[in-house]
Structures are given as structure tokens and as C-alpha cells.
Structure 1
Amino acid sequence: MWPCKRTMVVFVVLLSAIISTVTINKVPYDQFKHLMNNSMVEQLFHEEPCACMEKCLAASDDEWFTEHFRQDVPPLLSLNNSVLPDNIYAWWQSLQSTKSKASYSKVIQQLFSVIPGEGHYRDAGPSRCRTCAVVGNSGNLVGSFYGPLIDSHDFVMRMNKAPVEGYEKDVGSRTTHRIIYPESAVHLDNTTHLVLLPFKTLDIQWVTSALTDGTIKRTRFKVIDKLKANKDKVMVIHPGFMHYVHTKWLNIKSRRSYPSTGFLVLMFALHICDEVNVFGFGANSKGTWDHYFEKMPKSFKRTGKHSGGIERQTILKLQERQLINIYTGW
């Protein structure tokens, strides 16, 4: 297998230098062979974990990171990985206010009769450098002028109903992935991936319905029954991935608590990207928790069933260890 382009460029430069040395200084053939067998040359053909110049997240040797990060946990559901172990299924069911009477296996069969069932983004390797912007909804984006920087990433992930139009200079204009649950859904264009966060079995039933006959019109409350979205670009976060984030990254024992949407999206990005930059998380410079597109009540900082303090500490630790970059806008 050929090394990545960066390695090839460096090799060509070094080889040219060696040949010039041999030609100009008339180095004997035996010495030339020694140069060509030099470990520096051999190292150039050693495959890098990714093609990024600065970091490759999945290949990080940071001890704390490797204790938490599990590359074998699939972030997205597919036909081949949809069976849930009993403990994960029990945890996922515990999040639901009412137990579903629907057969999980039938729900999955119906889902993948509508959307693609193959695995996604399991393509990490020496030729890939995927940069991702995780864009939250914080008011600290106002006046940031981060728009062009956000748009420069390969993937731009946004959450729920966060608007783009009218805010482009601060939040960018591109959206490659929109992560939603039924109650936060919005219509999408044909180029954007809809990524469903399924907090209950009914959520998976809803996305199947919303892309077909629209029979489900209410979950916790009224939802979009007929959703405009590209069926071929719809994905579903794996309940097992949600459980892994809950237990491995947050180390939460409570069965009724679960990770926030923002934290789950960040973890999703860590698993499918080589470089991750975070925008629009946290309070603004005045300590308020408004969205960039709306004022929020003072009680908004309350995190409900999410462990906001642990999530914040974990995100800050990722930054301190230079595993992600956080742009605060101020």
C-alpha cells in the first residue's frame, strides 16, 4: 500500500537530496546503499494513522483519552449491528417514560427498509484527514465572525432547530449533519444528513413514518409528520453508543440520567473525525446562556436529567489535553 501524499512528498524531497549528494560528492555505491537503507527512509513508508498534519484523534496516545475512547463501539446503527445486549436495551428502555409495546427487531427492520442499512464512517486510515466543526447554539457565537472558519471544515454538525439564515457571518452557512430528535426536527435540503438521536423506540418509529406515510403525528407532543429530508442521508445514533458515552465518558450510575444532545454530538464527532473543533458551547462572556438566535429564561442553565457539570469538565479536559479546540467567541 502506498503511503499518504504528505509522506510521498517528503520522501521525494529526501530522495532528491540523497541523489544530489551522491552526484555532487561522488559518494561510493556502498555508502549510497547505506543512505537508502537509513531508518529515516524506512520511517517515511510507515503508515500514519491519518493524513492530518497535527493530530489523529483515534490514534492519540494520551493515557486518559485511551482509557475512555473505544474505537470498537459503532456510533451509528446498521443492519449488522442493531441487536442490543440485554443490559444496554434495559438502560435505553429506562429512559422512556412509557415502555413501548412495539417489537424492537420489527422497528429496526422497518427502519432499514426505508433508509440505508450499511455502516458509515468506519474508514479511518492513513489517507483520511476529516475535519469536523461541532456547532452549538450558545450566544457566545454572536459577533464572533466564525462563519468562514466553520464552513472550512469537511463536516459541519448542527443541532436541533438552530437556524443558519441571517446568522451566516457568525455561524457559517454550511450544514452537513443536522442532529435531531422528533420534537426538535426541521425540514432539510437534499444535501444534509439527518442524524436521529433515539431516546425511545417511538423515535425510531417516527423517523420511519416521517419519511413515508406520516402516520405518527405525536410523540411526547405534536411533531412533524411528513419530514422533508433525503432518505439516503438519514442515520440513527446507536443506543449502544449512547450507553457507552453515559457509562464510559461520564461514568454516571443513575439509570434515569443520560447525556445531553451537545455532548453526544461531540462524542459522535470524536469517533468519526480526525480533528474536531467546537463552537457555540457554554455561556457568553457575561455568563448568560442565551442562544445566538433567541433569549433564554434564567432557568435555562439547569440541565435536568443531564450531568452538565461532568460534561463541562470532560469537554474542558479534552481541550486541556489538546484533543479538541474550543472557540468561545470572546
Structure 2
Amino acid sequence: MDCTSTCPYVCGRIQGGGSDAKAEVEKLKGGAATFDIGLAENSVILVRQKKNTENKSKMEIKMSRGRVVKILAALSIAALFYTSLLQPKEAVDHVIEPEHVKVLHKLALSSLQQKCRPGFVRTSMEKLFSHSYNPALLPFIWKNLSNVEGESAQKYHPPFGFRGNLDTLRDIMELLPATGTPFHSKSCQRCIVIGNSGILRGLGFGALIDSHDVTIRLNDAPVKGFEFDVGKKTSIRILYPESALSFANQYDPDTIVAAIMFKGADFKWLEAVIKKKKMSLWTRMWFWRSVVQNLSLPLTNIRVVNLLVVNETATGLLNFAPPTTGSLFFRKKIPTLGVIAITLATHFCDEVNFAGFGYHLERPRMRLHYYGKTRMDNMKYQLNHNVGRETVFLRDLITKGMINDLTGGVQPPKLVNQSVDQVW
């Protein structure tokens, strides 16, 4: 018998010839068998525990996926609901009395026949807002970034500053052959900011608008087909990625496109447009609708709006609370692009008029824009804006004779036997 399979102690006893040794071996074998069974049972338990752990992990993953699916489903339902609210409904045109149109044309023509006053609007703004308006503020970014190197420009994230985006901005400016203010041809420039309000329809202000030295349009507001009311000329078009025109033939070859950045992804968009390259999927996810990737304009026609103008408009002129770091975008109060454009114009124009402004929220079925079918009640979903405060601000400038509302949407002219509220 080979006893090497047992322990040395037992092996010695067997070789010693003791009769009890064999019995001890048998006993040991039984113990080994018992040990083997116990070991097997422990192994089974460990396998079961491992399996239970794996099942638990799989269940947690399924539950986690389920929660994600539920969240995505909820967001999809919310998006569909929100979209349904914004679906075009029947819009009603503003009722315009012929007498009202005559008065507006007469007042506008009288204003435009006056001699242009060099530096008038900038000087007036400085006097009225001595502590919150900077007459030396440059409205467009220069190639050397000299106007964004200060602490104020880097204090806030877009749209109130350039914090976190200076490297991309520097790359953009190196690619642009022309920067800074685009118009210096006249000693005195009279500018007009054309809003997109539905009150423009039927006024026939096209020729009066085009008579200005500089015409500033907003977003993707069309010109073709609406020339009688809004004119043909576009000197500057201020836009952001989601509001850029989709087709090349919609851009006048002489138009300056002034890009305004409301978020970090907007810088990446402009860089991609200039370099004619595709944006990453991550960047595209930040836009609330698909964006164009080609402006079909020479690079000499592209400018970048100084975001200090947005900050000046918001906190300096409209008295909005300063933005806080990390606050959610939808909780910030941001001026409408129209009021930003008016402030921008005061920094390089000598006189400023505007047309096509005014939100008549008390008439929800009225046409919001002079194009499309969007109704006035769509504005109640624009939580970032405070159009009431903007109206008060603009009326103050009009009353003090600093700027003119040619179409009377913000400050209607009083007609004979007719109150301001009855004009529209």
C-alpha cells in the first residue's frame, strides 16, 4: 500500500506494522471524503453568491437603463408638448388705418430730411447713462483681441463675456482677414435697425428704410418678397448659429454678417464655418435646431460682436441682475437681439432709428413677424426676455429724442381724436 498519499505521521505508523494504523488510515480517508464534500459545498455556495451578484448587477443595469429610458421618454413628451405649443396657428395681420400710415410716413420723412448730427446718439447715451454706458466700447472684435483682454471681458461666460472661449476666439480672429467696425465712409452715418415685427406688413416703408446709410437686420428675416415693406438693402445682419440663413442666394454679397455668441458651442460653429470643416457630434448637440455649416460669403464679410455690448445692454441699460457663475441658461435674463442691436448701433453710428419693433402681447392672435405664421402669444414662452422692461427703456430714449421709432410699434404717434392704445 502506498501511504504517500496520506500524511507522513500516518505513513510512518503503517510502515511500522501497527494494526491500528490501517484503521486510522481508513478513518482519515473518511475524513478526507467529508472534507471534499464540504469543500464542494463551499464552492457551490461561492458560485451561487457570484451568480447572485452578477444577477443583481444585471438587474441594477436594467433598472438604470429603465430609468434613463423613462427620463428620455419624459423629455421627448415634454419636447413634443412644447413643440405643439409653438406650432403655427392662424395669425391675424395688424389692422392699419390709412391715416395712420400717412402720419408715420410724414414723420419718418421729416426726420430723414434733417441734417445728420455727428456723434449725436453716442453723446446722448453717455449723458443719460453716465455710469453704465461706455462710449469708447468697440462694438466688434479686433484681430489682436485688444478689446477683450480686460477683466470685464473674461469675467462672464457667453453671452455676457468671453470666459472659457478666448482660445477659440483667437483662432477665429487669426483666420478673418478683416475685423473691427466695417463702415467709415461718411463723416456722419445715419443707421436703422430693422426689427421683424408683424407691424411692418402693409406700411410700405421699404424706400424709407433703404435711404439710411447703414441698415441692420436681425437673424434670418427675409428680404426677397418683402421689399415694399422692409426694403432691399442689408448692410449688417446680426445672427447666431440657429438663426443663420440657410441658402446662399439669401445673402447680399455686400452684407456684413456679425456673429453673436450666446454659448460656447457658437464659437466652435463659427470656427467650423470659416475652416469649412464639420463640427463634432458633441458640438452639434448644443444647438436647439440644425445649423448651417456654410455662410456662402467671403471671409472679409464676417465680424464677431463684442459680447461686452450684451453685458452693457443687460446690466447697464436694462438693469438686469448680473449673471452668476453656473446659473442655468433659462434662468438668465438676456436682452432681445433687437435691443442689443440698437445698443450696438449707438457705438458706431451718429444717429439711430429703428423700425419693426414692438410686442403687443395683449393681442395674442396678431402676427409676431412680418413673415411666417408665428403668433404674438409665442412670446409668453420666451422666458429669457423681459420685453416689458425693454419697452420702457426704448420709450425713454424716444421721449428724450435720442432715437426714433419710425413705425410706431413701441411709441405710437398720437393721431387726431385717437389715443395711443387705439392706433394699433
State the TM-score, normalized to the length of structure 1: 0.74
Q: Which residue of 2 aligns with 1:295?
A: 373
Out of 70, 75, 86, which is 2:134 matched to?
70
Quick check: 1:181–1:196 contact (8 Å CA) kept in 2? yes
| TM-aligned CA distance change 1:182 to 1:285, over 3 Å | closer
Q: Which residue of 2 aligns with 1:258?
A: 334
The answer to whether the aligner puts 1:322 opposite 2:401 as a matched pair is yes
1:18-57 matches, cutoff 5 A: 52-53=116-117, 56-57=120-121
Out of 158, 161, 166, which is 1:105 matched to?
166
Q: Which residue of 1 aligns with 2:220?
A: 161
The answer to whether the aligner puts 1:141 opposite 2:200 as a matched pair is yes
- Computing the radius of gyration from Cα coordinates, the structure with the larger value is 2
Separation in 2 of the partners of 1:266 and 1:292? 19
Separation in 2 of the partners of 1:87 and 1:53? 31
1:149-228 matches, cutoff 5 A: 149-186=208-245, 187=248, 188-216=251-279, 218=284, 219-220=286-287, 221-228=289-296
CA deviation after TM superposition for structure 1 residue 72, in Å: 1.8
| TM-aligned CA distance change 1:67 to 1:323, over 3 Å | farther
Quick check: 2:214–2:235 contact (8 Å CA) kept in 1? yes
CA deviation after TM superposition for structure 1 residue 269, in Å: 1.0
| TM-aligned CA distance change 1:328 to 1:61, over 3 Å | closer
CA deviation after TM superposition for structure 1 residue 214, in Å: 2.9
Q: Which letter does structure 1 place at the counterpart of 2:137?
A: V
Quick check: 1:140–1:283 contact (8 Å CA) kept in 2? no
Quick check: 2:239–2:258 contact (8 Å CA) kept in 1? yes
Separation in 1 of the partners of 2:175 and 2:358? 37
Quick check: 1:92–1:243 contact (8 Å CA) kept in 2? no
Taking only the aligned residue pairs, the percentage that are identical comes to 28
Separation in 1 of the partners of 2:361 and 2:148? 45
Write out per-residue CA displacement over residues 218-242 of structure 1, whole angstroms, 9 at most, x where no aligned residue.
2413211122122102111112221
Which shows bigger deviation, 182-191 or 113-122? Answer: 113-122
CA deviation after TM superposition for structure 1 residue 114, in Å: 1.9
RMSD between aligned alpha carbons?
A: 3.0
Quick check: 2:133–2:312 contact (8 Å CA) kept in 1? no
Q: Which letter does structure 2 place at the counterpart of 1:91?
A: Y
Structure ranking higher in helix proportion: 2
The answer to whether the aligner puts 1:281 opposite 2:342 as a matched pair is no
CA deviation after TM superposition for structure 1 residue 296, in Å: 1.6
CA deviation after TM superposition for structure 1 residue 160, in Å: 0.7
Quick check: 1:137–1:291 contact (8 Å CA) kept in 2? yes
Write out per-residue CA displacement over residues 91-150 of structure 1, whole angstroms, 9 at most, x where no aligned residue.
325879xx99xx6332122101221364326969xx711011100011110111100000
Separation in 2 of the partners of 1:119 and 1:254? 27
Separation in 2 of the partners of 1:309 and 1:269? 21
Quick check: 2:313–2:340 contact (8 Å CA) kept in 1? yes
Q: Which residue of 1 aligns with 2:311?
A: 243
| TM-aligned CA distance change 1:112 to 1:254, over 3 Å | closer
Unaligned runs of 5+ in 2: 1-114, 324-331, 409-422
Quick check: 2:165–2:264 contact (8 Å CA) kept in 1? yes
CA deviation after TM superposition for structure 1 residue 207, in Å: 1.3
Q: Which letter does structure 2 place at the counterpart of 1:264?
A: I
Quick check: 2:200–2:229 contact (8 Å CA) kept in 1? yes
**What SS does the corresponding residue of 1:183 show, helix, strand or coil?**
helix
| TM-aligned CA distance change 1:284 to 1:69, over 3 Å | same
Q: Alignment length, in residue pairs?
A: 274
Which shows bigger deviation, 66-75 or 304-313? Answer: 66-75
Q: Which residue of 1 aligns with 2:102?
A: none
| TM-aligned CA distance change 1:289 to 1:164, over 3 Å | same
Separation in 2 of the partners of 1:137 and 1:192? 18
Q: Which letter does structure 1 place at the counterpart of 2:387?
A: G
**What SS does the corresponding residue of 2:216 show, helix, strand or coil?**
strand
Write out per-residue CA displacement over residues 2-53 of structure 1, whole angstroms, 9 at most, x where no aligned residue.
xxxxxxxxxxxxxxxxxxxxxxxxxxxxxxxxxxxxxxxxxxxxxxxxx825
Write out per-residue CA displacement over residues 45-75 of structure 1, whole angstroms, 9 at most, x where no aligned residue.
xxxxxx8259721233884244543112221
